Each structure stands twice: as C-alpha cells, then as structure tokens.
Amino acid sequence: MVDDDKAALRRRLRSARRAVGARERLAAAVAMDARLQQLGLPRPHSRISAYRAMDGEIDPSIVLRRALALGCDIHLPVITCRRRRSMSFVPLTGAGEPAARSRALAPRWLDLVLVPLVGFDDRGNRLGMGAAYYDRHFGFLRHRRAWRRPLLVGLAFGLQRVNRLPVAAHDVPLWGIVTERGFYRGGWR
C-alpha cells in the first residue's frame, strides 16, 4: 500500500469513527471496559497511560475511573515538541489535569498503555494519525525477545478493523486491541 492509499484509508476510518452516534459510542466504551476486565486489565496499583479522546476516538474514561478505584497511577501523554515529535507521560492530578512535566515518567516504567488508533489489523499493526509518536517512544520494545512491559493495548471501535495494514520498519506492534466486539491478540506472542 502506498502512502496515498494509507492517507485515504486514514481519512475513511476517521470519518467512520466520527460517525458513531452518542448512544453507540457509550455502549462501545462500556463493552470495551468489560473486555479489559476479562483480561484482568488494568492490574491494581499499576502505572498506566491513557489518552483523552478526540476526533471520534473511543473514550477510555470508564476504564480510567475503574483504574483509579484500583489504586492505579494514571499518566497522560503530552506532546512536548511537535517539531521533534516528542511527548512525555505526566501524572494525572486529583483535579483531572496533567501534572508538571518535571514529574513525567519514562515510557519503559509504565505497565499498561492504552493507545488510540485510526485502524488496526489482526496482527496488532496500528494505523495512527501519522506522526509516529507512540512508535518513537516505545521503539525499545522492538528489540526485546519477550514482551514484559508496558503492554500496549489499542482501543478502538470494531469498524476500525481492516484486513491488512502496511508495516514500516519503525512500527511497534500492539500487544492487543480491545473493541466492543472482542479482543484481538497483537503481533507479540
């Protein structure tokens, strides 16, 4: 698949994601959280990262409320420099806002990362927004023989699943993808 095809696929999937109605969106988020519970995720007192939903992404808020009740430390990805495509994982404060960047946690110390995506395939390949922030920050996982941590779990609507995505050398596969329809084991076995 050439870059133009990838861009067209990205546009089509983002449009489909945005078209999900409010009632279906909430039902999907509840079902996704139930699937994560079945997987035992998040684990109590773990360090997790999650995003704030935008542009029609499935909302992880229900998962985050449960994670707080389990005593988890929650971190939000914050873009620190667009030109260098860098981000930090900063703790969520009691007021629901990111803490100071000086308190950022290195990606390798997270236990679970809930990753937004535009599209995915059954092999754990992820189509993101195109800037490779997650691939850049979790690239160290490509050099491991066994998956330890963090677990990269994509959150998506079932309609975002495609047959096959192109894979670049810098792409980091997801450990798994959770949708309202089920769990898809990623590229790490």
Please give the model's pTM, rounded to 2 decimal places: 0.91
**Nearest CA among 120, 112, 147 for reference residue 41:** 112
pLDDT at position 7 over 80: yes
pLDDT at 39 (0 to 100): 96
Task: Read off the pLDDT of each residue in 164-172 and give the average, rounded to a whole number.
Answer: 87
pLDDT at position 180 over 70: yes
Q: How many CB atoms lie within 10 A of CB 129?
A: 15
Report the distance separating Cα 98 and Cα 48, nearest Å: 13
Task: Read off the pLDDT of each residue in 146-150 and give the average, rounded to a whole number.
Answer: 75
Report the distance separating Cα 138 and Cα 152, nearest Å: 9
Report the distance separating Cα 117 and Cα 71, nearest Å: 26
Q: Which two tokens stand for residue 21?
A: 């109605």
**Which residue type does 109 have?**
W
